[in-house]
């Protein structure tokens, strides 16, 4: 299994904060956002750890090469969307992490548990980690654990972490947002 940290976006919601640096390098508590994601998964056993880059890629690439030379960089010349960024590098089952979260080491246990669950059942194509106790709800998950689109009621929050089977995106185009896959 590989891991991918999504870091190619423009960070436009951050306004002036991301005019000169990519959002994954914004610091919280004197630590870049991407570092939280990297530190979370470094202790897990992955064949490869990838980071996709696009906006201000030269800055992020330099940071990664200096601090994490073992990480593989997947540069997107043109923005591929979340789904396209995953599809570009995926050749086996994959764990995908957003850099928007301040990942804490305790979440490592949840990821390990999710990976074990995912690996036991080959019928699971996509496993999203969610938090139903959050104050910010953005997904509608039914009683049989299916995501409803469009959301009729928002009853849970996507944690920014999911697992995906190696062949799940084969029929999708090279450029697309992962939400299209979730809707399908």
- Of the two residues 12 and 142, the one the predictor is more confident about is 142
Mean pLDDT along residues 40-64: 93
Nearest to 169 by CA among 72, 81, 99: 81
pLDDT in tens, 153-175: 888 878 889 999 999 999 999 99
Nearest to 53 by CA among 93, 21, 28, 91: 21
Q: What angle do CA 130, 133, 139 make, to 5 degrees?
A: 45
Residue 135 carries which DSSP code? S
Residue 4, pLDDT above cutoff 90 = yes
| CA–CA gap between residue 43 and residue 27 (Å, rounded) | 22
- Concatenate the DSSP letters of all residues of 48-87 into one string: -EEEEE-TTHHHHHHHHHHH-TTSEEEE-SS--HHHHHHH
């Amino acid at each position: 299994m590989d891991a991918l940290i999504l870091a190619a976006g423009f960070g436009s919601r951050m306004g002036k904060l991301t005019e000169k640096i990519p959002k994954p390098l914004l610091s919280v508590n004197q630590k870049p956002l991407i570092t939280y994601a990297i530190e979370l998964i470094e202790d897990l056993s992955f064949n490869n750890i990838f980071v996709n880059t696009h906006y201000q890629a030269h800055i992020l690439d330099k940071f990664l090469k200096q601090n994490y030379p073992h990480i593989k960089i997947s540069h997107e010349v043109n923005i591929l969307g979340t789904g396209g960024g995953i599809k570009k590098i995926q050749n086996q089952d994959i764990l995908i992490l957003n850099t928007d979260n301040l990942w804490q080491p305790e979440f490592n246990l949840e990821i390990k548990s999710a990976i074990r669950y995912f690996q036991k059942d080959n019928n699971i194509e996509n496993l999203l980690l969610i938090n139903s106790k959050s104050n910010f709800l953005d997904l509608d998950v039914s009683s049989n654990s299916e995501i409803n689109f469009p959301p009729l009621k928002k009853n849970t929050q996507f944690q920014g972490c999911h697992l995906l089977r190696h062949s799940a995106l084969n029929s999708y185009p090279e450029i697309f947002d992962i939400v299209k896959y979730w809707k399908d």
